[in-house]
């Protein structure tokens, strides 16, 4: 299973459409971790599962839980979970939902960790990156059986080798 994860496009509709077009039907699930700043009725939400970010004005849910053939995923933006201080609340959210993976945005910084048996993933920002890597990013999770491999990409679909 391949899952494309993006976040924090902040009104850049084309960035999301480009991800879909360039994915070549190779993606099983598209996930957006909030702060799209797009309308709730935007056609992109027929493709992406999304959550409410601190800059969104719709009525998206603060967190969603998705069941996949490989296991369960929880998606949230992160601003309500104090992700700038700690990822503990995200791990607790995943465990409360019996999820193997939690995905979040908000910080605009790429992250991929395993914490207390939970895979924690932040794709960075597809429009306004922060942190050591100064370019827009997104992630693809290859999930098969117990193997969960995250690869980060820039907008040109080039692999980002070093995220920290």
Closest Cα to residue 8, out of 97, 103, 82?
A: 103
Per-residue pLDDT tens for 23-51?
978 999 999 999 999 999 999 999 999 99
- Within-domain flag for 162: no
Give yes or no for residue 90 having a pLDDT over 90.
yes
The domain total for the chain is 1
Average pLDDT of the residues in 3-26: 95
- Is the predicted pLDDT of residue 164 greater than 70, yes or no? no
In a domain, residue 161? The reply is no
pLDDT tens digits along 94-122: 999 999 999 999 999 999 999 999 999 99
Is residue 158 in a domain?
no
Residue 160 lies in a domain: no
Say how far apart CA 87 and CA 73 lie, in whole Å.
16
Query: Which CATH number covers residue 140?
Result: 3.60.21.10
Domain limits for position 78: 2-153
| pTM higher than the cut 0.85 | yes
């Amino acid at each position: 299973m391949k899952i494309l994860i993006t976040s924090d496009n902040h009104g850049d509709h084309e960035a999301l459409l480009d991800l879909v077009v360039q994915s070549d039907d190779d993606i099983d699930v598209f996930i957006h971790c909030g702060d799209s700043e797009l309308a709730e009725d935007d056609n992109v939400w027929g493709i992406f599962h999304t959550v409410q970010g601190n800059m969104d004005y719709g009525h998206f849910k603060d967190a969603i839980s998705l069941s996949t053939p490989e296991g369960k995923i929880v998606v949230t933006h992160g601003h309500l979970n104090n992700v700038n201080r700690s990822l503990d609340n995200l791990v607790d959210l995943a465990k409360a939902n019996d999820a193997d993976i939690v995905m979040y945005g908000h910080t605009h910084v790429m992250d991929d960790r395993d914490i207390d048996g939970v895979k924690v993933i932040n794709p960075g920002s597809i429009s306004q990156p922060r942190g050591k890597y100064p370019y827009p990013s997104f992630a693809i999770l290859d999930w098969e059986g117990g193997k969960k491999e995250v690869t980060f990409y820039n907008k040109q679909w080039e692999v980002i080798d070093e995220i920290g």
